[in-house]
A and B are shown apart, each in its own frame.
Chain A
Amino acid sequence: MGDKVFILNSGKVSLNYEDIETGQEIHDLVKTGEFFGVKSALGRFVREETAVVLADSTVVAFSVPEFEQLVIKNSRVVLKMLKVFSNQLRRIQKQVQNLIYAEEHINPEKGLFSIGEYYLNNKAYDQAIYAFKRYLVYYPSGASSSEAIKNIETAESYLQKYGSGQGPDLSPPAAQPIEADKPQKTKELSDIAQSYYKAVSLISQEKYDDAYNEFKAIVNSSDDQEYISKSQYEMGRCLFYVKKYDNCIRLFTTWIQKYPKHPDLKDALYFIANSHEAMANKDKAISIYKKVLALTPESESLYPKARKALRKLEGEKA
């Protein structure tokens, strides 16, 4: 850790360091009258260079406050240093940028517009108006310029009518805070969720074959385990409703093995028991209904359903 800044009065001093890009050892000679050790002293960092005396030399060492006093009185020095450091900063920034080229480069036009959209959706109308107006300044005939004008009008009228932070939701998903660490996934999910609910509504319309195919498509195209397990469960239901009991039992049996801890497990068992009952496999149906009862709290609506079915079967047997 360095706390001194040096100036070379006479002699020969070399600053030795490794180039961060190539790992090559670099030797920079310090000119007489030049400062060295500035960065680590002012920034209180570990020294990054080794200063080696190559010939008898005299240096003046300054403490940080002494150095600061000195440069404040000498704007020429501080300006010169600013130039050196700004060049260094520019260089290292370029090196870092080269390494992270993989990070998507958002085009500034789209970026600026999306900032406006963000604030508009979050009812921060002043901020939205600023961003859209700047957009129009820089991109007066840009791809989204007419939309920007429309959005400014909307923002201005909402600001007047409702005030900042108030007003109707323009884009419900964006207006609600979403878990910060997976914005991308949320978008993907909503697509899956959409197809899933579309298929669920097909069941309620009793279009079981269509629903089955929709769920199957979700299972085949998605990698979201939550929706895959839900969709497979619904496929089992469809099979039950179209009276393909064999297939239904097979599907739910595999499903249970795959998701033994799924919250819908007992419902799946209920469908298996029901299928056995429909196929007149009374004993199997009874034993599985018993399992359902063992797993289901009495408070759940499934419990009386399973109990009723079980009593009926046991009554028939008796």
Chain B
Amino acid sequence: MSSFNQMFQRFSKSFPKGSIIFCEYEPGDNFYLIQSGRVKIVKIIGEIEKTLDILNPGEIFGEMAILEEAPRSATTIAMDKVQALEFNRANFEIIMRGNPQIALKLMKLFIKRIYDQKRRFMILTLDDIEAKVADVFLMLAEKESQVARESDTIEFKTSIDDIAHWAGIPPAECRNVINHFSQQRRVELYSDRIVVKNINDFDRFVKSRRKTKE
């Protein structure tokens, strides 16, 4: 990696601590590889700045810019003094040829994104709104599946707004569904988390709804 850094030093840019690297809604065709420092990815939802991720040296961000000319979907802020290599569409291929290690990393990132989007697609194509919400919980549970599960009860550090976002439904409707689940004692709703009492029950429920559709 260090020889690589030397090779591409001319692409290296420095960002002071606390500065914005790029801003949500900004057009942009650069993407970045962090050399040092940490980068926070945030999105302003309503009146709240929500941290989506914190990236460390060696990680890539802004890569969607090389795929499409859409505005940035989140804001990135330097948490420390950040040194990062800045690439664009024009020098992308040169850089990937020069360092397949990064290309491989990017490939894995794309694979993960494709999977996540496919999973999201499955949720969105359910007709039943309750099944959509239940399926979001299943998706979140799958993401945590590395941890051996000891019981059918799973605690999610998530909010109704997040669930609504994933399910592609208005937050008010999502709240109704979750309240209904809560009345049925299938979930417990807390201010900072939602507990699903029996994830297998949701699994069966979603499967049955998916089948009747076909």
Instruction: List the interface of chain A (C-beta within 8 A of B).
Output: 20, 23, 38-39, 42-43, 45, 48, 68, 71-75, 78-79, 81-82, 85-86, 88-90, 92-93, 95-96, 99-100, 102-103, 106, 108-109, 111-112, 114-115, 118, 122, 126-127, 130-131, 134, 138, 164, 173-174, 177-178, 180-184, 186
Contact = CB atoms under 8 A, between A and B. Distances in A.
Contacts of B120: 96
Contacts of B205: none
B156 interface: no
A126 B125 CA distance: 42
Interface stretch (B4-12, B23-31, B53-61, B80-88): B23-31
Interface in B8-49: 18-20, 23-27, 44-49
A78 B107 contact: yes
Interface of B: 18-20, 23-27, 44-50, 66-68, 71, 75, 77, 93, 96-98, 100-101, 103-104, 106-108, 110-115, 117-118, 120-122, 124-125, 159-161, 168, 171, 175, 214
Given A88-B114, A181-B171, 13 more contacts: A39-B114, A39-B115, A43-B111, A71-B104, A78-B103, A85-B107, A89-B67, A89-B113, A92-B114, A92-B117, A96-B117, A96-B121, A100-B168
A92 B18 CA distance: 34
B107 A81 contact: yes
B112 A43 contact: yes
Contact of B25 (A89, A93, A95, A112): A112
A92 B121 contact: yes
B153 to A, nearest CB: 22
A82 B93 CA distance: 10
Contacts of B101: 72
Given A99-B124, A108-B27, A126 B19 contact: yes
Given A79-B103, A89-B110, A127 B77 contact: yes
Nearest to A90: B67
Contacts of B93: 79
Contacts, number: 150
A14 B142 CA distance: 29
B1 to A, nearest CB: 13
B25 A108 contact: yes
7 contacts: A108-B25, A111-B24, A130-B19, A173-B47, A181-B171, A183-B45, A183-B46
A138 B168 CA distance: 30
A69 to B, nearest CB: 10
B168 A102 contact: yes
Given A73-B100, A112-B24, A127-B20, A183 B124 contact: no
A95 B121 contact: yes
Q: Which 3 A-B pairs have the closest CB atoms?
A: A183-B46, A111-B25, A85-B110
B20 A82 contact: no
Contact of A45 (B45, B75, B115): B115
For A102, A177, A181, which residue has the most chain B Cβ atoms within 10 angstroms? A181
B97 A115 contact: no
A28 to B, nearest CB: 16
Nearest to B167: A100
A79 B168 contact: no
B25 A182 contact: no
A78 B19 contact: no
Contact of B117 (A43, A89, A114): A89
A133 B107 CA distance: 34
B100 A99 contact: no
B114 A130 contact: no
B15 to A, nearest CB: 11
B103 A131 contact: no
Contact of B96 (A42, A82, A174): A82
Contact of A20 (B27, B47, B106, B118): B118
Contacts of A96: 117, 120-121, 124
B51 to A, nearest CB: 12
Contact of A164 (B18, B68, B124): B18
A109 B110 CA distance: 28
